[in-house]
Amino acid sequence: MRPTLSMETSAAMDHRAAPSLSSEEKRRIERVARFVARDRDGDLTERLLLRLLAITRNSRRWGFLAPDHPFHPYYLQQKVSERCRILRPRPTTAAAADR
């Protein structure tokens, strides 16, 4: 397990009042979080995305990647959730048939 995961988890569980997300924003954040979580070197990918954000200054679309953005905790929550889903062992067919 990566040491940053615990920091991400605590940040994702921050109970500050988050602004409401539109369905388009939720889909975009969830898609990026899934991509970063599934990538072999997700931390590098995330740093590259942050660099692109700084270059393009498209904070309206990708600002949630920045730690000071109000949607960042939701992004972290989705990323951690996807990593947990990936790491969770799937039941084998034989074990599922025994139930």
**8 lies in some domain:** no
**18 lies in some domain:** no
DSSP H or E segment with residue 98: helix 93-98
| Structural domain total, the chain | 1
Residue 94 has pLDDT above 70, yes or no: no
Determine the Cα–Cα distance for residues 14 and 18; give it in Å rounded to an integer: 10
CA atoms within 13 A on the CB side of 17: 0
**50 lies in some domain:** yes
CA 59 distance to own-chain centroid: 17
**80 lies in some domain:** yes
Per-residue pLDDT, 9 = 44
**64 lies in some domain:** yes
Give the structural domain span for 69: 23-87
Per-residue pLDDT, 39 = 86
pLDDT tens-digit series, residues 21-76? 899 999 999 999 999 998 888 888 888 888 888 888 878 888 999 999 999 999 99
CATH number at residue 80: 1.10.10
